Amino acid sequence: MARRVEAALHSRSVAVLEAGTGTGKTLAYLVPAMLCGGKTIISTGTKTLQDQLYHRDIPAVREALNVPVSVALLKGRANYVCHYHLERGLADARLSSREVAGHLRQIARFAAVDDSGDRMALKTVPEDSPAWAYAVSSRDNCLGGDCPYHRDCFVLKARKRALEADIVVINHHLFFADVWLKDEGAGELLPAANAVIFDEAHQLPETASLFFGESLTTGMLLELARDVREEADQAAGDFLQLNQAATDFDQAVRPLRLQFNAAQQRLPAARALSQPGFAAALGELQTRLDRLRALLEAQAERSEGLKNCLERATQCLERLARWRGPDDESCIRWLEVGTHAVMLHVTPLDVSELFSRQVEDGARGWLFTSATLAVRGDFSHFLDQLGLTGAETGCWDSPFDYDGQALLYVPQAMPDPNTPEYTRAVVEAAWPVLEASGGRAFLLFTSLRAMNEAHGLLQAKMAEADRQFPLLLQGAKSRTELLTEFRALGNAVLLGSQTFWEGIDVAGEALSLVVIDRLPFQPPDDPVLAARIDAMKRAGKNAFFDYQLPHAIINLKQGAGRLIRRESDRGVLMICDTRLVDKPYGRRIWQALPPMRRSRKLADVLAFFQTEPALAEPV
């Protein structure tokens, strides 16, 4: 794999390479990247993987090769303390509690002595503290060169280090937001690079769709209202109408979420606008935003902050008008309802042309790698999504002895996954396996609803059986805290949804069972999927076999990849969805998984665990 990477870097071509868990794909691209010279951008799927590369993998390879390579870590703007917004936050009398005020003072002391300003370096302020909202900037409210603290800006310092470094480690969101879209400063990175390497590249199509489209969220609107009030207090205190208009606008934003009952929902724009009261609430929002923009226009010259707020209000109005406007066959307008927010999206149905246009310029080498890009060696699904026709491809399997290390178990007599009793059946089928494994399990679900239902059912099951395992639930704590606790306990059962399907590495006996409730097909009523299916049908394609099935296989490979992480690992992968064996397409799915022994008999699973050393009785 390293030789293939080296060839792509020297020829400045495009290579798409899949390498299974344990092949050392990080080494396979780091070694040639360091030896080939020039500037390399490495983009990862998450900030956690960014930190792992920067703090562990790259230093180890650099030391082994003994090469003088300089490295920089670059994160998104919201990861760095902003002196300007911090100062405003400290002066703000509207802070919600003494705790938030205390956190803000800690951040101020940190910013005064730390050279990076990276919020991850301040461990004493929780990651989810509301204080951070007052201490960082966003793309929208950054004043750029007009900021009074421009010379001391942590973001600009980080970007300067990135421009000077041989290797720059970023993440996919930052790549699209700041590099591809050429935000001020970071846009210089891409033209200077000899190579761009995407690790966890399977995430790119979704990320590209997000950034090639546009969104307007209630969070953005509430932040605008807050910033207008603060700027008005400081620069236009004699013009009370502006502060009042910002408050009125704030009050028009908050009712949007109340129009929808479900905690999580995705709706096409037409259906969302048919909800009783939503169209009227959106109309009132637009009216108040228009008034706010007009008042900002009258006062904008009084400060750079007010001028920035005017630009944001204008952009929000334009996005709102486009979202409420006529349909466009190339895009889907849809609405997402979160726990506390509403997000209006316009998403392109196909990003392949936009993406490929940038990659095919021949100015640099492009490498895309992941453990899950192909379906049985066929890369066409991934290549089509990003328009990478003509790219070189390569595939290397994991070195593990899956036949000896793992068992794939599909229980018998399971109900249809779409029936109301399905999650209860999953818990009933998984319980004897959990007892045999002594806990040590991930239970992965395709929806938060099923995950939460299973959590309650498992609690009842343990009480009934008088056998307790520590139960950890996604959302109860941060992902990092849950994983640390899971590893330390040694016999825990962790229930998660999409967050825990990928990017998780738990090696050893702490994880010996992965239960997946159903095949991860996207919900058929998802507005983006439904629009893509319609577009594919119009083009004469088979949406199920050309898009939905490959997508599900790649997702399932990610979930299954949590189980065997080292040569010494052993475990059972339990997939409860009998479509894996009952449907004609099921064969294509399990053949794409690692070559484990397969069984439908519970006795085989119990025998598998009995061959291991005896486990301590769970607490």
**Would you state the structure tokens that stand for residue 23, as one six-digit string?**
């092949």
Which domains occur in the chain, in start order? 2-77+153-212+350-396 (3.40.50.300), 81-135 (no CATH), 214-348 (1.20.1440.60), 402-610 (3.40.50.300)
Q: Please state the three-class secondary structure of 125-180 as a single string.
A: CCCCCHHHHHCECCCCCCCHHHCCCHHHCHHHHHHHHHHHCCEEEEEHHHHHHHHH
pLDDT given at position 141: 85
Rounded to an integer, the average pLDDT of 473-501 is 90
Rounded Cα–Cα distance for residues 308 and 296 (Å)? 10
What's the CA gap between 286 and 506, in Å, rounded?
48
Strand order in the sheet with 493-496: 471-473, 493-496, 441-444, 513-516, 571-575, 406-409, 597-599
Q: How far apart are CA 441 and CA 421, in angstroms?
A: 22
Phi, psi values for residue 443, rounded to 5°: -110, 110
Torsion of CA 137, 141, 142, 144, to 10 degrees: 180
Round to whole Å and give the CA distance between 347 and 198: 22
**399-432: per-residue pLDDT in tens?**
999 999 999 999 998 999 999 999 999 999 999 9
Structure tokens, 60: 């180890």
Alpha-carbon distance values, 235 to 82, 156, 428 (Å): 20, 26, 64
- Packing angle, helices 448-465 and 422-437, rounded to 10: 50
pLDDT confidence tier of residue 494, bands split at 50, 70 and 90: very high
Q: Which of 345-359, 468-482, 567-581 has the highest mean pLDDT?
A: 567-581
Average pLDDT over residues 47-63: 91
What average pLDDT score do residues 376-384 get? 93
Q: State the Cα angle at 361 between 356 and 363, rounded to 5°.
A: 130
pLDDT, mean of residues 24-47: 93
- The reported pTM is 0.88
CA–CA dist 480, 325 (Å, integer)? 42
Q: What is the pLDDT of residue 615?
A: 41
pLDDT category at 479 given cuts 50, 70, 90 is confident
CA-to-CA distance for 176 and 211, rounded, in angstroms? 6
pLDDT at 473 over 60: yes
User: Mean pLDDT, to the nearest integer, of 503-525?
Assistant: 90
Residue 617 pLDDT level (bands cut at 50, 70, 90):
very low
Structure token pair of residue 286: 């637009």
Model confidence at 616: pLDDT above 70: no
Predicted local confidence at residue 265, as pLDDT: 85
More confident of the two residues 22 and 110: 110
DSSP structural state of residue 36: H
Q: Distance between the two ends of the chain, CA-based, in angstroms?
A: 45
CB-based contacts of 281: which residues, under 8 Å, 6+ apart? Answer: 252, 255, 256, 259
Residue 618: pLDDT over 70: no
Q: Are 4 and 392 in contact (CB under 8 A)?
A: yes
**Residue 542 confidence (pLDDT) above 90:** yes
CA–CA separation, 515 and 444 (whole Å):
6
* pLDDT > 70? residue 302: yes
